[in-house]
Amino acid sequence: MKLIILGSGTCVPSLKRSAPGYYLQAEDCQALIDCGSGTLLQLERAGKSYKDIDAVFITHRHPDHFADLMPLIHALLATPKFRREKDLHIVAPGGFIAYYEKAIASIIGKPRDFSVKVVEIQHKLDLGPFNIFAANTIHSADSVAYRFEQAGKSVVFTGDTDYDRGIIEISINADLLISDCSFPDSQKVKGHLSAKECGLVAKKAGVKKLVLSHLYPADTPDIARVREAEEVFDGKVILAEDLMEIEI
């Protein structure tokens, strides 16, 4: 699997960190995990095309995590001299189908040459080469984390989450954990993981590598969060950067 971090930031506008978005590829399947504002532009910067995306996985319905979903479908419908024929899969938590029909399909209409297939994930889903698992998280009423497995490798995206047993369990023995690390420990906010909590999740789950992402501006340098996570986790800790590429 190949991962590109398209956006390592949050809802706060930043010239350094775009809103949350991740590109994951395995075999001939190309997926987005979250697609906040600016994701389409970041795809272009990464040398990938929105035209080739097979599936979009949404962790929850906060705008910084899916604001570019409508622009993505609009681009697939309206790009001159381009005709998309393969279906677009959207995987999201419960309640998203009704939201999609009311707030997105009602505006852009139904594609003529391809289908938008919206699936509300519960616990497990197989799509293309991926075996995907989901777990509810402590953040919003609909927030979930995703675990992708393929060819013996695994990567977990926590989405936005606070510390609890569920986020540890879905991360057990993962090769890579992409974790919400909204703030350093001194600025801990309910509903989000602090840096040390990220390290604790990684330690208890026995993950091989931890990536700290979803980084809000803070009173200390971003790199300080790496040191805080390393206080409890002795594996590899990486500070996410936009357009960073990781082989899994």
96 CB-near residues (< 8 Å, 6+ apart): 58, 61, 90, 118, 120, 142
66 CB-near residues (< 8 Å, 6+ apart): 34, 35, 36, 56, 58
Q: List the domain range (segments joined by +) for residue 175.
A: 2-247
pLDDT for the residue 47: 98
pLDDT for the residue 25: 98
Percent of the chain with pLDDT over 90: 99
Q: How many CB atoms lie within 10 A of CB 124?
A: 10
Q: Are 231 and 195 in contact (CB under 8 A)?
A: no
pLDDT for the residue 186: 94
* Cα–Cα dist 202/210, whole Å: 7
* Cα–Cα dist 239/73, whole Å: 31
Q: Which helix (H) or strand (E) holds 108?
A: helix 106-108
User: CA quadruple 11, 132, 137, 237: dihedral positive or negative?
Assistant: negative
Question: Is residue 131 very low, low, confident or very high in pLDDT (cuts 50, 70, 90)?
Answer: very high
Q: DSSP secondary-structure letter at 92?
A: E
Question: Is residue 58 very low, low, confident or very high in pLDDT (cuts 50, 70, 90)?
Answer: very high
Q: What one-letter code names the amino acid at 26?
A: A
Q: Are 194 and 229 in contact (CB under 8 A)?
A: no
Q: How many CB atoms lie within 10 A of CB 79?
A: 12
Region 25-42 average pLDDT: 98
Q: Report how many domains make up the chain.
A: 1
* Cα–Cα dist 129/153, whole Å: 12
pLDDT for the residue 101: 96
pLDDT for the residue 220: 94
Q: Residue 223 in 3-state DSSP?
A: helix
pLDDT for the residue 211: 98
CA distances from 247 to 49, 63, 111, 170 (A): 19, 28, 34, 20
Q: Are 35 and 18 in contact (CB under 8 A)?
A: no
CATH number at residue 151: 3.60.15.10
Contacts within 8 Å (CB) and 24+ apart, 37-45 = 37/63, 37/64, 37/67, 37/68, 38/7, 38/68, 39/6, 39/7, 39/68, 39/72, 40/68, 40/71, 40/72, 40/75, 42/6, 42/7, 42/18, 42/242, 42/243, 43/6, 45/243
Region 171-178 average pLDDT: 98
* Cα–Cα dist 208/80, whole Å: 44
Residue with tokens 């979250």: 34
Q: Are 137 and 144 in contact (CB under 8 A)?
A: yes
Name the strands in the sheet holding 209-213, side by side, starting at the edge strand that comes first in the sequence. 124-127, 130-136, 144-150, 153-157, 176-180, 209-213, 236-239
pLDDT digits (tens, 9 = 90+) for 212-229: 999 999 999 999 999 999
